[in-house]
Structure 1
């Protein structure tokens, strides 16, 4: 006989307590390690050997501005000649990145190397026009 409303005889077990990840990957230090750490802590600064230490961080004035700048990308559908596309695809997997680099170089060469941030470009007159006579004549001004 099928008893659809009856309780199951088995139940799930109580979950175990979680173990902190630090407890799994760290072990208590030994007495020898503790003595070594104390000896190093008691050592005066003049006796510390810095020969294997990494170089000092650069001064604020030496920091390269814009080093990690990534331009805003925009997805577009673009019609290009089949031979042009085949040539770019023949350059390797990142052919779209290469296409962008070629276009960026042309833009910089045409505009005299002046590259404004994307926000300046997106608010410029160039971006808002629908027809592009003299396409780079103003160079985004």
Structure 2
């Protein structure tokens, strides 16, 4: 029995519509020299797009202030030891005098100041000669009496 010999009278109208309705209409002849192997049918994706987990995270800064932000890290609390309030790169004006104080104690300048700190540059170069001869004592007595 061929398809042309089947008439709508021999089969019900419903059976005929099920028999002849194509599931997907495609072209059976391809103009490509490679055939139809490189032409893919568009199918719906099997899996949905992955959902990125988002967790609330409380950030505790050095000064005690807290910030809640959302991140992919499951850690709920982070306590900072260094932030913009106590970092010398962010607050240079706060840390200006610290380098000078540190230089007085450590390093070559500290060693120099410890070694020659007792000497002051207020006396003239010839005062040590006057002290040896006693002339400074006489000059001081004259200035006080006069």
**TM-score of the superposed pair, with normalisation by structure 2:** 0.20
Higher strand share: 2
Higher helix share: 1
**TM-score of the superposed pair, with normalisation by structure 1:** 0.21
